[in-house]
Homo-oligomer: A and B are copies of this chain.
Amino acid sequence: MRRSIATVCVSGTLDDKLTAAASAGFDGIELFENDLVVSPWSPVEVRSRCADLGLTIDLYQPFRDLDSLDDGHFRKSLDRARRKFDVMAQLGVDTVLVCSSVAPDAVNDDDLLAAQLAALADRAADHGMRIAYEALAWGRHVSTWDRSWEIVRRADHPALGLCLDSFHVLSREVSPDPIAGITPGKIFFLQLADAPHLRMDVLQWSRHHRLFPGQGAFDLPGFVRLVLAAGYDGPLSLEVFNDVFRQADPTRTAVDAMRSLVALEDQLTIAGYDGSRTALRALPPAPDLTGHAFTEFAVDGRSGPELRTALRGLGFLHTGQHRTKPVELWEQHSCRVILNSAVTATGPAAISAFAVTSVDPAAALARAEALRAPAHPNVREPGEAELAAITAPDGTQVFVTGPANPWRADFLPTGAKAGGWTAGEPEADDAKAGAGLLAVDHLGLAQPFDHFDEAGLFYHSVLGLDHLAAEEYAAPFGLMRSRAVADPARRVRVALTVSLLRRGEWAPAVSDPQHVAFATADLLATAEALDLPALPVPDNYYDDLAARFALDAGFVATLRKHGILYDRDANGGELLHLYTPVIGGRVFFEIVERRAGYDRFGEPNAPVRMAAQRHRRLTGT
């Protein structure tokens, strides 16, 4: 099926939008009237530009409030339509969207509505055009898909059909199931948008908070299957009104959009003549991930020594030195940190890359490529391991490697031993080494504002990670949103965070450091073994904790002694965790002990951490 995108999905002027759509590989566009009106190109020039870019114009969107109880007003609408059919002929587009009216004079009589739409369809047919009628979820009288279909059915005009928009259908209570029974050929157009569940006015929800498929909470695959069952074979067209996408780089947004469609198509099974069921366009499946392989920090002459001190304090050993690059491997059990002095000349430390282990790295990379996240090989010397990376939306390099970690052969052992294991040898199963850190529990990656939802879809579709629940919380420097992704076995977790508004000039960067959280089976023992100061936690926190959770006084005293924070979920799962101060300018570490299936990230404690990190920054204590 052809893939289209409405010009309203992306930022810029028409030139920017067409270029972005074409470079992301779309076949066509929906042209919004406003984008044409402000363009210096004539309709013929727009058509020609689209043709040059390999784009068709699949839908034109100029019509609002067509039907009317006032016959004079309706006649004027027909006059306006005639002018627009001329524009459409020049554009080379044959389908125009007509939305249900929101005006006070809107018609509430199905037969009159059918008659007015048929009159319009007559004129459209004269011009070789056709009308796609859509029920806006906030239409004055026609606000559900079933009523719009009833009107189209009564009109029974060959140039009149339905436009179905997943948002308008799925945001209402009316079941979409009977869509599968719509007369074949009568669905003229299909618009796709996802959205989060929000308690708000449906118009505001639609105009500001739509998302690309897979970024929200709607069942898009189920909806599209119904439409395909009704014989629809037009384009899958994205129509997403989103405040962030409207002002972000259109080239990147268009790639995000394309990725959402490719991932959606993979979930659209079609029944074959032989009874087989195949996806519309299947992706290489996402192979199981088995864990975090390493996390790489870019360091400079100032942050490098700070990180080394912190790693030693956490019980890590510098076990390997890269054969050809200024790159160090630090290890503790299955926790591996790489300090890379070759990436950046100066600046605060940052998570420049991370690696996950996959049962089939080649298949994972093939899937990534199909999802418009092509892998690029690392720069390496002869004899070194090949390790291909894909680029996440925030610029982080994501490596996928095999469970045997062949890349470790590129590091010369320093002779240091960690838990009985020496670099280059098989890993020992000795959890008692160091401070008892066992593996990476999760990465905490603060995301750039324009690309938060893009990042969620990237990790979900490319690596096959599930979305966990999103959270919003008030932090000292403004509201934060967090959304984590993880594999079903919770061996790979990435927690994405973003300021709910873009960070202001005040307190810049204080609240958006990145971090690595390591898992321990016994945080109290680990805390005893650490040789670096934990982040100080206020006494007020513990006084409140005792009151909130009715905790045993001795337990609270132990938490307080070590600066350990605490959270408990509704099922009795518990999290014990502690933080380090910010190190090297922009990173910190966390150590977590999950008890009884706790599956969140201690979000209620994030403001405590932020305040303590700021206090330390200001006072040094």
Hey, what's the 0/1 contact readout for A541-567 against B, CB within 8 Å counting as 1? 101101110100000000000000000
> 6 closest pairs, A vs B, by CB?
A247-B478, A38-B611, A502-B502, A249-B506, A199-B201, A83-B547
With A199-B201, A540-B42, A550-B76 given, is the CB distance from A450 to B506 under 8 Å?
Answer: yes
A492-507 interface mask toward B, CB cutoff 8 Å, 1 = contact, 0 = none? 0000000111111111
* Given A43-B540, A83-B547, A506-B249: A608 touches B501 (CB 8 Å cut-off): no
7 of the cross-chain contacts (CB-CB < 8 Å) are: A8-B474, A11-B477, A33-B544, A38-B612, A43-B540, A247-B499, A249-B506
Interchain CB contact under 8 A, A547 and B479: no
Give the shortest distance, in Å, between A17 (CB) and chain B (any CB): 9
Q: Chain B residues with Cβ under 8 A from A208's Cβ?
A: 479
How many whole Å from A550's CB to the nearest CB in chain B? 7
Q: In the complex, which residues of chain B have a beta carbon less than 8 angstroms from the beta carbon of A449?
A: 501-502, 504
A403 beta carbon closer than 8 Å to chain B: no
Within 8 Å by CB of A541, from B38, B76, B546, lies B38
A181 to chain B: closest CB distance in Å?
Answer: 35
**A13, A39, A449, A503: most-surrounded residue (chain B CB, <10 A):** A13
Contacts of A506 in B (CB 8 A): 11-12, 247-250, 450
Residues of B within 8 A of A258 (CB): none
Q: Within the complex, what minimum Cβ distance (angstroms) separates A606 from chain B?
A: 10
Query: In the complex the two chains form, what is the Cα distance from A611 to B15 in whole Å?
Result: 10
Task: State whether the Cβ of A34 lies closer than 8 Å to any Cβ in chain B.
Answer: yes
Chain A: how many interface residues by the 8 Å CB criterion?
Answer: 68
Q: Does A246 count as interface, using CB distance less than 8 angstroms?
A: yes
Q: Which residues of chain B have C-beta atoms less than 8 A from A503's C-beta?
A: 247
Give 1 or 0 for each of A4-47: 1 = CB within 8 Å of chain B CB: 00001001110100000000000000000110111111110000
The winner among A38, A249, A538, A548 for most chain B CB atoms within 10 A is A38
Question: Per a CB cutoff under 8 Å, which of B12, B244, B550, B611 touches A13?
Answer: B611
Residues of A at the B interface (CB closer than 8 Å) are: 8, 11-13, 15, 33-34, 36-43, 76, 80, 83-84, 87, 199-201, 203-204, 208, 243-244, 246-250, 449-450, 474, 476-479, 499-507, 536, 538-541, 543-544, 546-548, 550, 607-608, 610-612, 614-615, 618
Kindly list chain B residues whose C-beta atoms are within 8 Å of the C-beta of A201.
Answer: 199-200
> A501 is contacted by which of B502, B504, B544, B546 (Cβ under 8 Å)?
B502
Copies in the complex: 2
Once bound together, how far apart are the Cα atoms of A108 and B451, in whole Å? 45
Q: Give the CA-CA distance A8 to B478 in the complex, in Å.
A: 10
Contact between A477 and B243 (Cβ–Cβ < 8 Å)?
no
Q: Which residue of A87, A200, A544, A618 has the most chain B CB atoms within 10 A of its CB atom?
A: A544
Listed residue (A42, A84, A449, A547) with the most chain B CB atoms within 10 angstroms of its CB: A547
Give complex CA distance A199, B11 in Å. 26
A540 touches B39 (CB 8 A): yes
Taking a contact as CB atoms closer than 8 A, the residue among B243, B250, B615 that contacts A500 in the complex is: B243
Q: Are B538 and A615 in contact (CB under 8 A)?
A: no
Q: How far is the CA of A247 from the CA of B498 in the complex (A)?
A: 13
| Known A11-B507, A12-B506, A249-B504; 5 more pairs at CB < 8 Å | A15-B615, A15-B618, A38-B541, A247-B479, A449-B504
Partner among B84, B200, B243, B615 whose Cβ is within 8 Å of the Cβ of A200: B200
Q: A502-B501, A502-B502, A504-B247 are in contact. Are A87 and B543 (CB under 8 A)?
A: yes
Within the assembled complex, what's the spacing in Å between the Cα atoms of A81 and B380? 64
What B residues does A507 contact at CB under 8 A? 11-12
Chain B residues, CB < 8 A from A539: 42
Contacts of A36 on B, CB cut-off 8 Å? Answer: 540
Q: How far is the CB of A469 from chain B (nearest CB, A)?
A: 18
For A40, A478, A479, A546, which residue has the most chain B Cβ atoms within 10 angstroms? Answer: A40
Q: How distant is the Cα of A250 from the Cα of B200 in the complex, in angstroms?
A: 30
Which chain B residue has the least Cβ–Cβ distance from A542?
Answer: B37
CA–CA, A204 and B198, complex, Å: 10
Shortest distance from the beta carbon of A86 to any chain B beta carbon, whole Å: 9
Within the complex, which residue of B42, B246, B450, B504 is in contact with A479, where a contact is CB–CB below 8 Å?
B246
In the bound assembly, the distance between CA atoms of A506 and B451 in angstroms comes to 12
| Residues on B with beta carbons closer than 8 Å to the beta carbon of A548 | 80
B-side contacts of A541, CB under 8 Å: 37-38
Residue of B nearest to A36 (CB): B540
Within the assembled complex, what's the spacing in Å between the Cα atoms of A80 and B466?
Answer: 38
How many whole Å from A315's CB to the nearest CB in chain B?
Answer: 27
| A199 / chain B contacts, CB cutoff of 8 Å | 201, 203-204
- Which of B12, B37, B87, B477 is in CB contact (< 8 Å) with A477? B12
In the bound complex, residues from chain B placing their C-beta under 8 Å from that of A203 are 199
